C-alpha cells in the first residue's frame, strides 16, 4: 500500500501541476484574483503530494521491499540504514524524484512566502514553475518510474553501486540539486517578466534571495562533490574536467554572473535585459547538466543510467524549455524598458566586466564539454578534451578576472575613479609582491608561475580586506569609531568580503596542491618504509575484515616525522560481494591544511601491495575557499535590508577634478 | 479496499486545493507592489545616511533617482485594469479541478500502477525452509544465512564445494576465502580456492590461483592438488621441464594407490617428460585416453565455447574478461586484442558494463 500510495501521490502531483500551469495564466490574463490564487494552493498541495511520494520511496528502501524494482535493483537488506536512505537518490529514478521534490519545495516556498510579490507576477512565476514540474513528472512517470513493481519479489536486492556507499552521497546530490533547481526560480521570474512585459528594480529585489540561495547550495554542492571524488575514487585528484563536473561548473559560472548582474539591477536599475538573459541561461545550463548526467550520453563515473528513451525525452524537455524561453526572450526583450546609464569606469562597469569574463569562461567550458560529443555524433570520431584544453583557456580568462575582483567594490556607482581605487589597493599590491618574493625565495629554482599565482591570490584576499578597511576608515579615524562603523556595516558588505577572499583562499590551495604535490608510487611489503615529503610511512601489515555487506583488506601504516611517531593510517580495499565490485578507501591524515593520502592498489603474487602515497600541501584550502564563499553568500542572504546603490553625484566628481 | 479509500481521500484533498481559492472572493490585500519596494528603498537611504554609510550628497542623488522611479511606478499602477472576478472562468477552472484532475490521475495510475500488489517489506516475509526445494533454493538459503552470519566458517566450508560443483566459481572463490578466514587456513582449502579460481578463468591457471597453490604448498608440501596444478601452471607457461619435474616428484613420493596417479602420469606423458616407469597396460591405455583428450585441447575447447557463447550474447562482462585473460595466458595476444575490440562493441551501449570492462582490462594490464 505504501508503494501504490506513493505512486498515486506522484500522479496527483502531475495533475495539480497541469492545473497550476494553466489556470493562473488565464487568471492573470483576465485579472481574476481567485484564479491567480489557484497557483498558490496548488503549488502547496503539489509540494505535499511529492513529499509524500518521496517519503514513500524512502520507506520502501528502508523496509527493503524488493517488490519494487527500484528497491530491488539498488538496495540490499544488509546495507547500513544510512545507505538505505541515501540509496534512494543514488540511482536514476530516485534522483529524479528528489529533483522534482526540490522543484516542488521551491515552488511551495514562493507560494508560502511570496506575499510581497504582486499578484500577477506570483501567478506567472508559479505557472512557469509548474510547466517545468509537469515536464519532469511526465518524464519520471513514463520513462523512469521508481514505483514499478515485481509480482514475485526476489528475496534479496542487487545492492547499491559500492562507490556510492559513502556519506558523500547523503550530502552531495541534495546540495547540488538544491543549487540546480534553485535557479529554476530565477528562470521562472525571468519568463514571467517576459510574459508580463514588465521588469524593474523591484523584480531584482524579489529574485536576488532565490538566486543567492541557489548559488550557495551549488557552491557547497560542487565543493562537496570535489572532496568526495578526492577521497573516494582513490586517484588523489580533486577536479578532472570530467563532463559531469563541467556540467555543474557551467551553471555555477553563469549563476555567479547572474548574482552580480542582479545586484546591479536591484541597486541601479541597469542591465535589466542582460539579467533576464542570464537567468534563462543559468537554468538552461542546469537543465543541460541534468541532461548530460541523466541521459547517459557521457560515459563517466556518474553515468549510472543508460536508456535511449530517457535521453530523447530529456533532450525534448531541454529543447522545449531552452528554445522556448530564448525565443520568448528574442521576441519580448526589445519591449522591456532599458535601464539606467553609467560610465564605463564605475561599479556597474566593473560588474559588466565580471559578467563578460564569467560568461566567456562558461562558454569555454561549454565548448570543451560539448564539442567532443558533437564531433562524435557528426563524424563518429572519438576525441577527448581534457585538462590541457581547460588549463590553457580557462586560466587566462580567470587571471584578469581575479586581478579585477578587488577593484570592483572600491569603485563608486555610476562613475568611478580607477586611479583612486588603485591607490586604495596599494596595501594589497604590496602584500601581493611580498608574497611573490617570499614564495620565490622559498622555492628557489622551482616553478616560475606558482609564486606569481600565489601573489595573485594574496592580492585578491588583501584586496577584499582593503575594501573593508576603507569602509570602516581603519587607521584614518580612531579605532573605536572604526569598530563601531564595522558593526554598522551591512552584512552584505561582510558577505562580499568573505566571498571574494574565499576565491583567493581556494586559489592558494589549487596552486600549492598542483605545484608542490609529492608522491610515492610503488609496491610495498610489510615492514617496508616509504618516505614522502619528510614523512616516513611504514607498512605494518594487512588484515582482512568483514563489513556489513563487504569484505575488506585493511593495511596499517605508521606515520612518523623525523623519527617521531605521529599517527596510524588505515587505507583499505573493499570487495562488495553482491555486485562483485571493489572500492578503494583512501586514508587521509590532516596536518594543518595539508594532507597525507594513501590509496591501495592491487596485491602482487609475492604478497606486495601497490601503494600510492601523496603529500598534498595546503590542499584543504581548495575546499575552505568555497566554504568561505558560501558563508559570505549566507551573510548576504541574512541581510534583510534593501539594496540601494547611491550614485556618485556628477557635480562632486567635477569639483574633485578641478581641485586636482 | 483500504487502498482505494486512501486514493479517494488523496484525490479529494487535491481537488480541494484547486477549489478553495476559487470559492473565496478577493483575498486580504497582502499583495506587494513596486511602489512599496521603492518606498522601502527611500526609507533605507535615510537609515544609511543616519549610520554614516553614505554621504548627504550621495543620499540626495539616490533619493532623486528612486523618487523618479516611484512616480513612474505609481503612475503605471493607476493605469492598470483593476482586479475583477470572472464567474464563467471560475466555473471552468472548478470543472477542470473536479473532473480533469481525477481523470488524469486515474488514467495515469491505472496504466502504470499495480493496485493488486500489496507491500512486501522484508521483515514480514517468511524464510521457512522446504524439504522439496531444489538444490539452488537450499544454496540460496544457506547463502542468506551466511550473509547474516558471515563469520560462520563451517557454513562457508560446506557451501564452497557445492558452489564449485554448480559452476558458480566466482561465488565459490568468495566462499573459500571466507572459509579460510573463519574456519582456519589449511592446505586443502587453499588448493580448493586455487581450483575455483581456475574455474573463474575458464581453465587457465592464473597468477592469483598459482599464488594460492603456493600458499597451500607452504603449509603442506605434499598436497596433491596444489602440486598437480602448479605443474599445470608450469606447463601453461611453456616450462615443460619444470612441469615434468614437479609431476615426477609427485609420483615418486606419493602413495602407490593414490587416486590421482593416472591423471598425473598422463600429464607427464603429455609434456614429454620421462615416461612413467613400468606402467601396467591399463594405465598406459588410460594415459592414451588422456592424451587424446589432451589438456590443451580441452582448454582450447572451453575457450572456444566461451567465445561462441559471447558472440551470441555479449552482455557478460565477466565472460569477456575471462576470454581475454585466457587468450593472454595462451600467448595469443592478437586474439586477445580482437576479443577486447569485440567486447567493447558488445557492451558499448551500456555505460556501467563498459566501465566494468575497462576496469577489468586495466587489471589485466591492457590499457585503452
Angstrom distance (rounded) from CA B50 to CA B123? 68
Q: Is the dihedral of CA A319, A325, A330, A331 positive or negative?
A: positive
Contacts of A470 in chain B (CB under 8 A): none
Chain B segment 190-219 residues within 8 A of A by beta carbon are 207-208, 210-211, 214
Does the pLDDT of residue B30 top 60, yes or no? no
State mean pLDDT over A317-324: 92
What is the per-residue pLDDT across B69-106, written as a single tens digit (0 to 9) for each? Answer: 888 888 877 777 667 777 888 888 899 889 999 999 99
Q: Band of the pLDDT at A255, cuts 50, 70, 90?
A: very high
Does the pLDDT at position A105 exceed 50?
A: yes
Query: Does the beta-carbon distance from A45 to B14 stay under 8 Å?
Result: yes
CB–CB contacts below 8 A, A to B: 258
B-interface mutation test, from A642, A643, A652, most B Cβ less than 10 A away: A642
**CA distance, residue B281 to nearest chain A CA (Å):** 42
Q: Is B255 at the interface with chain A, CB within 8 A?
A: no
Q: Residue A90 pLDDT more than 70?
A: yes
In sequence order, which residues have a C-beta less than 8 Å from that of residue A430 and are 6 or more positions away?
none
Mean pLDDT in residue range B182-193: 87
Domains of chain B: 297-363 (1.25.40.10)
Pick the range with the lowest mean pLDDT from A31-40, A324-333, A451-460, B293-302: B293-302
Residues of B in contact with A118 (CB under 8 A): 31-34
Task: Using a CB–CB cutoff of 8 Å, tell me whether B184 touches chain A.
Answer: no
Q: With pLDDT > 70 as the criterion, what percentage of chain B qualifies?
A: 85
Angle formed at CA A612 by CA A589 and CA A575, multiple of 5 degrees: 90
- DSSP labels, A566-624: EEEE--EEEEETTTTEEEEE-EEEEETTEEEEEEEEEEPTTS-EEEEEEEETTTTHHHH
Q: Report CA B318 to chain centroid distance, whole Å.
A: 12
Among the partner-chain residues B30, B90, B108, the one whose CB lies closest to the CB of A115 is: B30
Q: How many C-beta neighbours within 10 Å does residue A437 have?
A: 12
Whether residue B126 has pLDDT greater than 60 = no
- Is the model's pLDDT at A650 over the cut of 70? no
Residue A422's pLDDT is 87
pLDDT of residue A91: 86
Interface subset of B 293-322, CB within 8 angstroms of A = 318
Cell numbers of B131, please?
524439504
> Please, are residues A545 and A551 in contact by the beta-carbon 8 Å criterion?
yes
Transcribe A511-577 into DSSP letters: HHHHHS-EEEEEEE-TT-EEEETTEEEEEEEEEEEE-SSEEEEEEEEEEEETTEEEEEE--EEEEET
Residue B33: which of A27, A35, A118 has the nearest Cβ? A118
Provide, as residue numbers in chain A, all residues whose Cβ is less than 8 Å from the Cβ of B108: 11, 14, 141
Residue B353 pLDDT > 50 = yes
Alpha-carbon distance of A511 to A261, in angstroms, equals: 29
Q: Which residues of B touch A156 (CB under 8 A)?
A: 144, 147
Q: Which of A130-144, B22-36, B60-74 has the lowest mean pLDDT?
A: B22-36
Using CA atoms, how far apart are residues A105 and A226, in angstroms rounded to an integer? 26
User: How far is the alpha carbon of B33 from chain A, nearest alpha carbon, in Å?
Assistant: 5
Average pLDDT over residues A314-325: 90
pLDDT digits (tens, 9 = 90+) for A162-201: 878 888 888 888 999 999 999 999 999 999 999 988 787 6
Partners of residue B44 in chain A, C-beta under 8 Å: 641-642, 644
Set of cell numbers at residue B38:
521603492
From A547, which residue of chain B is nearest by alpha-carbon distance?
B150
**What is the overall mean pLDDT for chain B?**
79
Contact B69 A3 (CB under 8 A): no
Neighbour tally for B186: CB within 10 Å? 15
List, for residues B311-325, the tens digit of each pLDDT value.
Answer: 777 777 888 888 888
Nearest to A644 by CA among B45, B156, B177, B15: B45
Q: Has residue B112 got a pLDDT over 80?
A: yes
Q: What band does A653 get if pLDDT is binned at 50, 70 and 90?
A: very low
How many other CB atoms are there within 10 angstroms of residue B26's CB atom?
12
In chain A, residues with a C-beta closer than 8 Å to the C-beta of B351 are: 296, 298-300, 303-304, 306
Of the candidates A41, A485, A490, which has its C-beta nearest B20's C-beta?
A: A41
B111 touches chain A (CB under 8 A): no
Q: Which residues in chain A are contacts of B86 at CB distance < 8 A?
A: 30, 32, 35
**Cell 607498512 sits on residue:** A539
B50 touches chain A (CB under 8 A): no
Which residue do the cell numbers 542623488 mark?
A: B61
Q: Is the pLDDT of residue A124 over 90?
A: yes
Place of cell 586611479: A419
Mean pLDDT over A591-614 rounds to: 87
Phi and psi dihedrals of A575, rounded to 5? -115, 115
Question: Which residue does chain B place closest to A203, by CA atoms?
Answer: B34
**B151 contact A CB<8A:** yes
Distance separating alpha carbons of residues A609 and A526, to the nearest angstrom: 9
**B355 contacts chain A (CB < 8 A):** yes
Candidates B6, B16, B83: best to mutate against A (most CBs of A within 10 A) is: B83
Chain mean pLDDT for chain A: 86
Helix axes A2-20, A33-62, angle to 10 degrees: 160
- A349-353, A617-621, A637-641, B78-82, range with the lowest pLDDT: B78-82
Whether B221 shows a pLDDT value over 50: the answer reads: yes
Of the candidates B330, B331, B323, the one whose C-alpha atom is nearest the C-alpha of residue B361 is: B323
Which chain B residue shows the shortest CA-CA distance from A3?
B119
CB contact under 8 A, A580 and B318: yes
pLDDT tens column, A129-160 = 999 999 999 999 998 899 999 888 887 787 78
> What pLDDT does residue A558 have?
92
Residue A380 backbone zone (phi > 0: left; psi -120 to 50: alpha; other: beta): left
Closest Cα to residue B206, out of B311, B307, B321, B367?
B321
- Among residues A85, A137, A133, A88, the alpha carbon closest in space to that of A108 is found at A133
Residue pLDDT, tens place only, A363-384: 999 999 888 888 877 777 777 7
Out of A127-136, A276-285, A466-475, B212-221, least confident range: A466-475
Q: Are strands A564-569 and A550-561 parallel, antiparallel or unpaired?
A: antiparallel
Q: Do B296 and B289 meet the contact criterion of CB atoms below 8 Å apart?
A: no
Residues of chain A contacting residue B178, judged by C-beta atoms under 8 Å apart = 546, 551
Query: In whole angstroms, how far apart are CA A456 and each of A357, A403, B368?
Result: 17, 7, 39
- Say if the Cβ atoms of A118 and B31 lie within 8 Å: yes
Q: What is the spatial distance between Cα B340 and Cα B368, in angstroms, rounded to a whole number? A: 10
Contact A183, A106 (CB under 8 A): no
Please state, as a whole number, how many other Cβ atoms lie within 10 Å of the Cβ of residue A598: 28
A133 near A103, Cβ under 8 Å? yes
Looking at residue A604, its pLDDT comes to 79
Percent of chain B scoring above 90 in pLDDT: 8
Mean pLDDT of A243-263: 91
Q: Is B105 on the interface with A (CB under 8 A)?
A: yes
Contact assignment for B112 to A7 by CB distance below 8 Å: yes
- The mean per-residue pLDDT over the stretch A68-83 comes to 88
Interface contact flag, B356 A26, Cβ < 8 Å: no
Q: Which of B209, B217, B132, B138 is nearest to B176 (CA)?
A: B209
Per-residue pLDDT reduced to its tens digit, A513-559: 888 888 898 888 888 898 888 899 999 988 888 777 788 889 999 99
Distance CA B277, CA B252 (A): 10
Grid coordinates belonging to A408: 570592483
Find out whether A89 and B6 touch, Cβ atoms under 8 Å: no
Q: What share of chain A in percent tops pLDDT 90?
A: 41
Within an 8 Å CB–CB cutoff, is residue B283 touching chain A? no
| A1, A17, A34: best to mutate for the B interface, most B CBs within 10 A | A34
A136, A102, A258, A266: which is closest to A200 by C-alpha?
A266
DSSP A88: G
B139 to chain A, any CB pair closer than 8 A? The answer is no
Distance from CA of B164 to the nearest CA of A (A): 16
**A582: distance to nearest CA of chain B, Å?**
10
Q: What does each C-alpha distance from B176 to A31, A466, B156, B224, B320 come to in angstroms?
A: 76, 67, 7, 18, 24
Q: Specify the pLDDT at position A57.
A: 96
Count CB-CB contacts under 10 A for residue B350: 18
Mean pLDDT of A59-68: 91
Burial A129-159 (b: 16+ CB within 10 A, else e): bbbbbbbbbbbbbebbbbbbbbeebebbbeb
Q: With 80 as the cut, is the pLDDT of residue B130 above it?
A: no
Contact flag B112-A141 (C-beta cutoff 8 Å):
yes
Chain A contact for B131 (CB, 8 A cutoff): no
For the cut 50, the answer to whether the pLDDT of residue B286 exceeds it is: no
pLDDT of residue A507: 94
Amino acid at each position: 500500500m505504501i508503494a501504490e500510495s506513493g505512486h498515486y501521490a506522484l500522479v496527483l502531483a502531475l495533475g495539480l501541476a497541469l492545473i497550476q500551469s494553466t489556470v493562473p495564466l488565464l487568471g492573470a490574463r483576465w485579472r481574476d484574483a481567485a484564479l491567480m490564487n489557484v497557483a498558490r494552493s496548488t503549488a502547496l498541495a503539489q509540494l505535499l503530494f511529492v513529499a509524500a511520494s518521496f517519503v514513500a520511496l524512502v520507506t520502501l528502501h528502508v523496509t527493503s521491499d524488493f517488490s519494487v524494482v527500484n528497491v530491488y535493483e539498488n538496495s540490499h537488506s544488509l546495507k547500513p540504514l544510512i545507505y538505505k536512505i541515501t540509496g534512494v537518490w543514488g540511482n536514476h529514478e530516485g534522483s529524479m524524484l528528489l529533483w522534482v521534490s526540490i522543484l516542488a519545495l521551491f515552488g511551495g516556498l514562493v507560494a508560502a512566502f511570496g506575499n510581497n510579490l504582486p499578484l500577477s507576477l506570483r501567478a506567472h512565476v508559479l505557472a512557469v514553475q509548474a510547466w517545468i514540474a509537469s515536464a519532469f513528472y511526465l518524464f519520471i512517470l513514463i520513462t523512469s518510474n521508481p514505483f514499478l513493481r515485481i509480482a514475485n519479489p526476489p528475496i534479496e536486492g542487487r545492492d547499491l553501486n559500492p562507490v556510492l556507499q559513502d556519506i558523500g552521497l547523503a550530502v552531495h546530490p541534495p546540495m547540488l540539486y538544491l543549487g540546480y533547481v534553485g535557479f529554476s526560480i530565477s528562470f521562472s521570474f525571468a519568463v514571467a517578466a517576459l510574459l508580463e512585459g514588465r521588469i524593474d528594480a523591484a523584480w531584482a529585489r524579489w529574485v536576488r534571495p532565490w538566486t543567492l540561495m541557489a548559488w550557495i547550495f551549488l557552491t557547497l554542492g560542487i565543493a562537496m562533490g570535489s572532496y568526495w571524488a578526492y577521497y573516494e575514487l582513490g586517484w588523489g585528484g580533486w577536479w578532472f574536467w570530467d563532463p559531469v563536473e563541467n556540467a555543474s561548473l557551467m551553471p555555477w559560472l553563469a549563476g555567479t554572473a547572474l548574482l552580480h548582474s542582479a545586484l546591479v539591477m536591484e541597486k541601479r536599475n541597469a542591465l535589466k535585459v542582460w539579467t533576464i538573459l542570464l537567468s534563462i541561461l543559468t537554468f538552461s545550463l542546469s537543465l543541460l547538466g541534468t541532461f548530460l548526467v541523466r541521459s547517459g550520453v557521457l560515459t563517466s563515473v556518474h553515468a549510472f543510467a543508460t536508456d535511449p528513451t530517457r535521453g530523447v525525452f530529456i533532450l525534448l524537455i531541454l529543447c522545449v524549455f531552452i528554445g522556448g524561453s530564448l525565443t520568448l526572450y528574442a521576441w519580448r526583450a526589445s519591449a522591456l524598458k532599458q535601464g539606467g546609464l553609467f560610465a564605463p569606469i564605475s561599479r556597474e562597469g566593473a560588474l559588466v566586466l565580471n559578467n563578460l569574463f564569467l560568461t566567456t569562461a562558461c562558454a569555454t567550458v561549454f565548448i570543451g564539454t560539448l564539442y567532443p560529443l558533437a564531433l562524435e555524433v557528426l563524424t563518429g570520431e572519438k576525441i577527448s578534451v581534457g585538462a590541457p584544453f581547460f588549463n590553457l583557456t580557462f586560466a587566462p580568462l580567470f587571471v584578469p578576472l581575479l586581478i579585477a575582483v578587488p577593484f570592483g567594490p572600491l569603485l563608486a556607482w555610476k562613475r568611478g575613479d580607477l586611479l583612486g581605487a588603485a591607490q586604495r589597493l596599494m596595501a594589497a599590491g604590496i602584500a601581493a609582491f611580498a608574497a611573490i618574493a617570499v614564495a620565490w625565495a622559498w622555492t628557489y629554482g622551482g616553478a616560475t608561475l606558482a609564486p606569481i599565482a600565489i601573489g595573485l591570490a594574496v592580492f585578491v584576499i588583501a584586496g577584499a580586506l582593503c575594501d573593508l578597511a576603507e569602509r570602516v576608515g581603519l587607521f584614518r579615524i580612531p579605532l573605536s569609531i572604526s569598530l563601531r562603523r564595522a558593526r554598522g556595516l551591512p552584512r552584505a558588505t561582510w558577505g562580499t568580503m568573505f566571498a571574494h577572499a574565499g576565491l583567493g583562499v581556494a586559489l592558494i590551495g589549487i596552486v600549492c596542491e598542483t605545484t608542490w604535490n609529492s608522491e610515492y608510487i610503488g609496491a610495498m611489503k610489510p615492514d617496508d618504509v616509504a618516505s614522502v615529503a619528510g614523512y616516513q610511512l611504514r607498512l605494518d601489515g594487512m588484515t582482512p575484515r568483514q563489513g556489513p555487506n563487504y569484505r575488506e583488506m585493511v593495511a596499517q601504516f605508521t606515520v612518523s616525522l623525523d623519527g617521531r611517531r605521529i599517527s596510524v593510517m588505515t587505507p583499505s580495499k573493499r570487495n562488495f560481494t553482491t555486485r562483485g565490485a571493489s572500492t578503494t578507501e583512501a586514508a587521509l591524515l590532516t596536518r594543518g591544511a595539508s594532507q597525507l593520502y594513501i590509496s591501495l592498489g592491487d596485491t602482487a603474487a609475492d604478497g606486495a601491495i601497490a601503494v600510492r602515497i601523496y603529500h598534498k600541501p595546503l590542499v584543504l584550502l581548495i575546499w575552505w575557499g568555497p566554504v568561505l564563499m558560501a558563508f559570505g553568500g549566507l551573510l548576504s542572504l541574512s541581510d534583510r535590508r534593501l539594496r540601494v546603490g547611491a550614485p556618485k553625484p556628477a557635480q562632486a566628481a567635477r569639483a574633485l577634478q578641478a581641485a586636482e | 479496499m483500504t487502498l482505494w479509500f486512501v486514493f479517494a481521500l488523496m484525490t479529494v484533498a487535491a481537488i480541494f486545493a484547486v477549489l478553495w481559492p476559487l470559492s473565496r472572493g478577493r483575498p486580504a490585500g497582502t499583495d506587494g507592489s513596486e511602489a512599496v519596494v521603492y518606498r522601502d528603498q527611500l526609507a533605507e537611504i535615510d537609515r544609511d545616511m543616519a549610520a554614516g554609510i553614505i554621504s548627504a550628497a550621495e543620499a540626495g542623488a539616490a533619493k532623486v533617482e528612486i523618487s523618479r522611479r516611484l512616480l513612474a511606478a505609481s503612475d503605471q499602477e493607476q493605469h492598470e485594469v483593476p482586479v475583477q472576478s470572472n464567474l464563467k472562468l471560475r466555473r471552468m477552472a472548478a470543472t477542470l479541478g473536479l473532473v480533469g484532475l481525477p481523470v488524469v490521475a486515474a488514467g495515469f495510475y491505472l496504466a502504470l500502477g499495480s493496485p493488486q500488489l500489496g507491500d512486501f517489506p522484508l521483515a514480514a516475509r517468511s524464510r521457512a525452509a522446504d524439504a522439496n526445494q531444489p538444490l539452488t533454493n537450499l544454496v540460496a538459503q544457506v547463502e542468506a544465512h551466511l550473509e547474516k552470519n558471515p563469520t560462520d566458517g563451517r557454513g562457508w566450508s560446506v557451501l564452497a564445494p557445492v558452489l564449485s560443483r554448480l559452476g558458480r566459481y566466482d561465488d565459490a572463490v568468495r566462499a573459500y576465502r571466507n572459509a579460510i578466514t573463519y574456519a582456519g587456513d589449511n592446505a586443502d582449502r587453499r588448493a580448493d580456492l586455487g581450483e575455483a579460481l581456475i574455474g573463474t578463468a575458464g581453465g587457465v591457471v592464473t597468477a592469483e590461483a598459482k599464488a594460492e597453490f603456493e600458499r597451500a604448498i607452504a603449509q603442506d608440501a605434499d598436497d596433491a592438488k596444489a602440486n598437480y596444478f602448479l605443474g599445470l601452471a608450469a606447463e601453461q607457461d611453456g616450462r615443460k621441464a619444470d612441469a615434468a619435474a614437479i609431476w615426477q616428484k609427485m609420483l615418486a613420493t606419493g602413495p602407490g594407490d593414490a587416486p590421482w596417479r593416472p591423471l598425473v602420469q598422463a600429464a607427464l606423458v603429455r609434456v614429454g617428460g620421462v615416461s612413467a616407469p613400468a606402467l601396467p597396460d591399463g594405465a598406459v591405455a588410460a594415459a592414451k585416453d588422456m592424451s587424446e583428450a589432451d589438456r590443451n585441447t580441452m582448454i582450447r575447447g572451453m575457450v572456444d565455447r566461451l567465445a561462441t557463447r559471447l558472440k551470441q550474447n555479449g552482455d557478460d562482462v565477466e565472460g569477456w574478461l575471462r576470454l581475454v585473460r585466457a587468450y593472454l595466458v595462451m600467448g595469443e595476444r592478437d586474439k586477445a586484442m580482437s576479443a577486447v575490440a569485440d567486447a567493447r562493441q558488445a557492451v558499448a551501449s551500456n555505460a556501467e558494463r563498459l566501465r566494468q570492462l575497462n576496469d577489468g582490462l586495466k587489471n589485466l594490464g591492457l590499457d585503452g
